Every structure is written in structure tokens, then in C-alpha cells.
Amino acid sequence: MRTITLKGRPIVSGHAEGLALVSLKPISFLGGVDPNSGILIEKSHDLQGKNIAKKILCFPNGHGSTVGSYVLYSLAKKGIGPKAIINQSADPVIVVGAIIADIPMIDKVDIKQIETDDEVEVDGKKGIVKIRKK
């Protein structure tokens, strides 16, 4: 199995391992993700119908209402939040959401090198992502 190590910018510390769920589109948590299931519901999104629960969620950045941060908190509290977040370039909605929900987060990572279902290990403190290709 091929392993890649990427270095990004640490945003929220913490360690997580899991399967990647990768999107090339920005995610709006308010209105875009069902807060009761963790399923992405935004129409014509590349993750529409996919569940973000317990995934290493990789996407370029957040967009939309700043209330989206609160949705991340609620998801995490219900145990259906992502295990970690990897962004191309962090924006305040996702950063604040990850802080309050205590979700390890890294940005400035080339997410195109990660594919859905790759095994990913995230070190939020050092900003290191280890990817074991599927």
C-alpha cells in the first residue's frame, strides 16, 4: 500500500484516523448538511446523499451563513460530525465550527492528492496528514 505524507497548516489540534470523504466543492453547513443525520443535502453537490459522519472530511473551504459553525457543533455533539477536517484554504465558518466542536483541522493541504475511502491519519497539532491509498 502506497503512503503519502502531506504537510499543512495546523488549525485545531487533535489526532484522528479514518476514511476520507473528498469533495472538490465548498460546503455550506447551514442548509447544506442535515443536522440530524450528517447527510449532505445540497442539490447538485458532488457529495449529495453522502454521510459525513465519522469521516475525514476533505473539501476546499466553507461558504454560506456563519451559523454553519453551530451546525458542526451540533453534529459533533450528536456523534455524527466528521472525525477531522482538511481544507484547501480555511475560512472563518469552518475554523470556528472546528474550534467549538473540537474537531482536528488542518488547511493548506492539496486535497486533490486524497481520494474518497483512502485511509487517512490527521495530526492537527503538527499539521500532518498521512494518506494510505486504497
Partner 1 sequence: MYLTAEEEKILNGEKGWAYEVSMKILVRLGDLFNADRLIPIKSAHISGVSYKTMGDAPIDFLEALVKADGKVKVSSTVNPSGFDPDYLAKRFPREYQERQTHIIDLYKRMEVDTVLTCTPYYLQQSRQNWHLAWAESSAVVYANSILKSWTNREGAPSALAAALIGKTPNCGVHKAENRQPNILVKMEANPRNEAEFGALGIHAGKILKDEIPVFERLTNFTDDDLKQLSAGLASSGMTSMFYYQKPVAQNKIETVSIDGKGMKNAMESLSTTKKPPDLVFIGCPHCSLKEVETVAQALKGKRVKSETELWICTSRHVKNIAKRYVDIIQKAGGHVLCDTCAVVTWIKNLGFNTLMTNSAKTAYYAPTLNGVDAILAPLKRCIDVACC
**Which residues of this protein are in contact with partner 1, per CB under 8 A?**
11-12, 30, 35, 65-71, 73-74, 77, 90, 92-93, 95-96, 99-100
- Residue 26's identity, in one-letter code, is P
Residue closer to partner 1, measured from CB, 23 or 69: 69
44: CB partners within 8 A, 6+ apart: none
Nearest approach, Cβ of 42 to partner 1 (angstroms)?
14
Active-site residues, by number, are: 65
Nearest approach, Cβ of 30 to partner 1 (angstroms)?
6
Cα 87 from Cα 57, distance rounded (Å): 8
DSSP class of residue 53?
T
Nearest approach, Cβ of 98 to partner 1 (angstroms)?
9
Torsion of CA 90, 50, 34, 128, to 10 degrees: -30
Residue closer to partner 1, measured from CB, 92 or 134: 92
Torsion of CA 26, 128, 132, 57, to 10 degrees: -20
Residue closer to partner 1, measured from CB, 22 or 122: 122
